[in-house]
Every structure is written in structure tokens, then in C-alpha cells.
Amino acid sequence: MTEPLIACDRLCVELGGAKVLDGLSLSVHEGDFLAVLGPNGGGKTTLLKVMLGLVKPSSGSVTVFGKEPGQASGRIGYVPQRLDFDRSFPISAMEVVLMGRLSRKKLFQRYGREDRQKALDALETTGLASLAQRRIGALSGGELQRALIARALAGEPELLLLDEPTASVDPEMKTTIYDLLDQLRKQHTIVLVTHDTGTIGRHVSRIACLNCTLDMHEPGSTLGRTALEKLYHFPVDVVEHRETQTPHRHA
Amino acid sequence: MPDFLHFEFMRNAFLAAILSSVACGIIGTYVVVRRLGFISGGIAHTAFGGIGLSYYLGLNPLAGIIPFSLAAAIGIGLLSRKARIAEDTAIGAFWAAGMSIGVILIGLTPGYAPNLFSYLFGNILTVPDSDLQLIMGLDCLIIAMVWLFDKEFLAISFDEEYARISGLKTVALDLLMLCLIALTVVIMVRVVGIVMVIALLTIPAAVARSFSRSLYGMMALGTLFSCIFSIAGLWLSWVFDLASGATIILVAALVFLVNALFGTGKTRRTAC
């Protein structure tokens, strides 16, 4: 068995004295498309931030590409939940996507032709090529989300970490984003944090339920009402987790 | 040549206005997009301690202003970013402590302090040649740093968390930017004085933002606006015999107000 890209072992995280993650063990292997489900405050974003090296665990261990988190920035593409930015910031979509090349650049090294080409490719993949010169504040919610995905892709990462990419977009855009992820999973290992219990099962290869502690659900199993109600503490839709080797197509 | 340019002090004043506008437009752009206006005010007021110190020791005021403003930039930056102290608390403490040091040291110095007022409210009409050279040197330094740290400064301004994930030393970059603000403050103290520095660091860049599509565009336009405000203010102060620094600020504030009232509709339209 190959070495996992991400390995968490009995990971605990405390933020401001409260335990956010408790004894979590998880491994993500190359080619996985893992969805992490769970209620707000269940530690989903914190888990991603631990993987990115932004939050230090209080006990337990994490390795990402066999190293301490934060040491492999060039191999990870991160898509934040939503960008708290000033909509009047004078910057084009292209310039934002170019930031995805930052981890591959040295200090004082300027963005070159290759960087621009990779950024354009990423905009092409996410369907935003025609909006490259648009001011970032003028993009719609769905376009902004895709621009953030493009920024992550521009760095040519092996691993994509996405924080609720469909939380702030309308249902149609949600389908577009999932179609995009179906396409991206062919070349990338993906970890996705989401609330989307409804459609997620059709797209991903593994599901983890996170509410301070973690339950893994492997392919073929159905995540029943009891498991989800235990997770969310109130009734939710059943997540059917079918194996989908054939890519999902949206009619 | 217009009549008021026959005087050397007037020519120096115009040169000072134009040269300081370069720093204002460039660094003001970062101040506006990163909302560092209050921290800039803190740095400027802390520098008053430096004026007091150099007055007490009988040195050139700049010998006190430069170290004090740099220390304020690094001190406020480190306290708020590393020591988990709220930024406005750190700013308030430095602001008042710097002013107090200045007041006490000036009080301890025998005799009357004649030039004090000009440091608080600026006196662009007394800028000597040596100060012009210093302002030009600082302008070059600021341009060089912004050119070198171009992509890093853009990244921490737009999305600091992403910059950190990408492996940038964001705290160090942040402190460097605060130091550049401190140097801009040093320049501006001559032109408009400690109390009014924030206005020229924010207003030209803020007005420029409504017309800019990129950060560089905003810097260029901010520099231009700053030039226009300073020259117009200087000319008006000459014609009506008013305090020059205050007139410059009022011209800027008036344009800012007009732009805020009538310019928002335009930005909203382009945003859709």
C-alpha cells in the first residue's frame, strides 16, 4: 500500500479551551475523493486548517505528503469557504488566480509567461476564461467560487482541499461545481468539506462524518438516518453512498 | 513662471508637495485597501516623542522622528499580531505614550519651543533643500521595496490567510509594510504635520480606488490626486494667506466628500 497523502493519528485540537477535534484518525490516499460531512461547529473547517498548517494540534499527529503540515504548500490547492474581501479591491480575476502560483515562486521572483499560461488554463477549466479581466468584486457568487477553485488549480496541486464550495451558490451553480469536481477528481486527490448531504453521495469515493469525533463510511454502505441524526442531532435526508465509477452526468 | 514661484521657499514647497505625493499615492494605496489608517495615525503620533527627544538633545528633529516612527510600526505590529493584544488597544497605547514622551521632554527643555506647532500641523513653506533630498531618497526606497515585494504585498493585502498557506512569511511582510508606512509618515510630517498625516495617506488613494482596476493603477492615480490636492491647497493658501497644511487637507477632504456623495453610483454600476 502506498503512503497516504494525509495521515491523522489520534488528532486533538483545542481552540480557546474547547475541544474541537477529539481523537481523530484519518488517512487520505492518492485518488481519493473524500467528503467530510458534519454540522456547523463540528470541526470541519478546523480539520482543513490543521491540514494546511494554520492550526496546531494539541495532541496527536498529522502528516501531509509525509511532512509536517505547512511544509508542502506547493502540492496543495486550497479553496476557502468564502473570501472575506473588500469587493472594491482593485484586482482582476486573473490576478487573483495568479496568486495560486505564489507557492511555486521565490521571493523577488516575478510572475512570468508560464505562470500566466497556467492561470489562463485554470480559468479555462473552471469556465471563467472570458471573465479573466473582470474586477473580482464584479463576479457573482458562483463565479467567485469558481475563481477560487481556479486559483487553487493554477498552482498545479496534487491535493485539493475545498471548504464548502457549494455553500453560497444557487442549485444550478451547485451542479456545475459538482460536475467540475467530477472532472477534477481524475487528476487530483480531493478532500471536500460540506453540508450537502443530499447530492454528495453520488460524487465522492468516501464519506467521513465529523462532529468532534469522526466516523468513516466506506463505499457501498448507506449512511442511514440513525447515523446522520446522531451526527446532526436532528432529522436529515439519507445519504446514499453508491459506488460511481462512471462519471456522473448532469442532464 | 507664476509670480509665487519666484520665491525659493515657494519652489521648495511645490517640490516637496510633488515628491511627498509619490510616497502618499503608493503607500496610501496599501493603507486604504488593508484599512491601516488608524495604525498610520498611531505611528505618526508616536513620532511626536521623537520630536521631543531630538528637541531635548538639540538634534535635527528627523533624528528623532525616524527611529520613533519605525519603533512604533514594529511595536504596534508585533503586539497586535504576536501577543494577542487587540490592534486598536496597541495603537492607542503607543499613540498616547509617544505624545506624552514628547510633551515631557519638551517641558524639560529650557526655553520656549517655537517650531513645535509646525510639526503638529506642518509647515511646507520652510522645507530646506536637505529635506527635499531626504524625501527624494525615501521615495526611491519606497518604490524599490514595492517593486521588489510586488506579488507578496498584493497577496497579503488581498488574502492574508492564502498568502500564509502559500508559504509567505506574512508577519515579516506585514512589519515591512508598516515600516514603509512609518517612512511615509516621516515625509508627511514636513508637509502637513503629525495630526493631519492620516488624511493624505487615505484620501488620495481612496478617491483613486473608485477609478482604478488594478493596485498599480490606484497607486499612480493616488499619486496624481495627491499632487493635485497639495498644489491646489498650496496655491489657495498663498492666495488667501491661510495655513498651508490645513488648506491642503481641506481641498482633499472636499474632493473626497464630493466623490463619496456622487461617485458611489458609478462604482455600483461598474460592479454589475
Q: What is the pLDDT of residues A59-70, one digit of tens each?
A: 999 999 999 988
Q: Is A27 helix (H, G, I), strand (E, B) or coil?
A: strand
**What is the predicted pLDDT for the residue at A39?**
81
- Say how far apart CA B116 and CA B185 lie, in whole Å: 17
In a domain, B232, yes or no: yes
Average pLDDT in the B63-70 region?
94
**What is the predicted pLDDT for the residue at A133?**
95
In a domain, B271, yes or no: no
Higher pLDDT, A87 or B150: B150
Closest by CA to A28, choosing from A204, A163, A178, is A204
- Say how far apart CA A47 and CA A44 lie, in whole Å: 5
In a domain, B23, yes or no: yes
Q: Which residue of B has its CA nearest to A53?
A: B165
- Encode pLDDT of A6-29 as tens digits: 999 989 998 888 888 888 888 899
Cell of B115: 517650531
Closest by CA to B111, choosing from B62, B56, B63, B60, is B56
Q: In DSSP terms, which residues pair with B79 in a beta bridge?
A: none
Percent of chain A scoring above 90 in pLDDT: 43
The DSSP letter of residue A56 is -
Total domain count for chain B? 1
In a domain, B42, yes or no: yes
Interface membership of A135 toward B (CB under 8 Å): yes
In a domain, B272, yes or no: no
Average pLDDT of chain A, as a whole number: 84
Average pLDDT in the B75-82 region?
92
- Read off the pLDDT band of A74 (50, 70, 90): confident
A42, with CB counted inside 10 A (0-12, 13-18, 19+), is buried
Cell of B121: 500641523
- String of DSSP letters for B155-201: HHHH-HHHHHHTT--HHHHHHHHHHHHHHHHHHHHHHT-GGGHHHHH
Rounded to a whole number of angstroms, the distance from the CA of B86 to the nearest CA of chain A is 16
Rank A55-64, B65-74, B190-199 by mean pLDDT and report only the highest.
B65-74
Q: Which of B145, B146, B151 to mutate to test the interface with A (most CBs of A within 10 A)?
A: B151
Residues 6+ apart with CB under 8 A from B158: A85, A89, A91, A96, A99, B33
Measured between CB atoms, which of B151, B165, B215 is closest to A90? Answer: B215
Among B2-6, B46-50, B87-91, the least confident range: B2-6
Report the CATH number at residue B80. 1.10.3470.10
Class of domain A6-240: alpha beta
Q: Which residues of A touch B217 (CB under 8 A)?
A: 90
Among A114-128, B20-34, B104-118, B239-253, the least confident range: B104-118
- Say how far apart CA A219 and CA A235 lie, in whole Å: 23
Q: Which residue of A has its CA nearest to B210?
A: A88
Q: Which residue has the cell 490626486?
A: B225
Residues across chain A: 251
Q: What are the b/e assignments for A23-38, b being 16+ CB within 10 Å?
A: ebebbbbeebbbbbbb
Q: For residue B252, what are the domain limits?
A: 3-266
- Read off the pLDDT band of A236 (50, 70, 90): low
What residue ranges do the domains of chain A occupy?
6-240
A89 with B270: Cβ contact below 8 A: no
Pairing label, strands A206-211, A222-223: unpaired
Residue B13, pLDDT above cutoff 50: yes
- Read off the pLDDT band of B271 (50, 70, 90): very low
**What is the predicted pLDDT for the residue at A2?**
74
In a domain, B83, yes or no: yes
**What is the predicted pLDDT for the residue at B220?**
97
Residue B268, pLDDT above cutoff 60: no
Q: Which residue of A has its CA nearest to B158?
A: A85
Average pLDDT in the B160-177 region?
94
**What is the predicted pLDDT for the residue at A244?**
46
- Say how far apart CA B191 and CA B61 lie, in whole Å: 14
Measured between CB atoms, which of A90, A99, A111 is closest to B162? Answer: A99
Residue A151, pLDDT above cutoff 90: yes
When computed from its CA atoms, the radius of gyration of chain A, rounded to whole angstroms, is 18
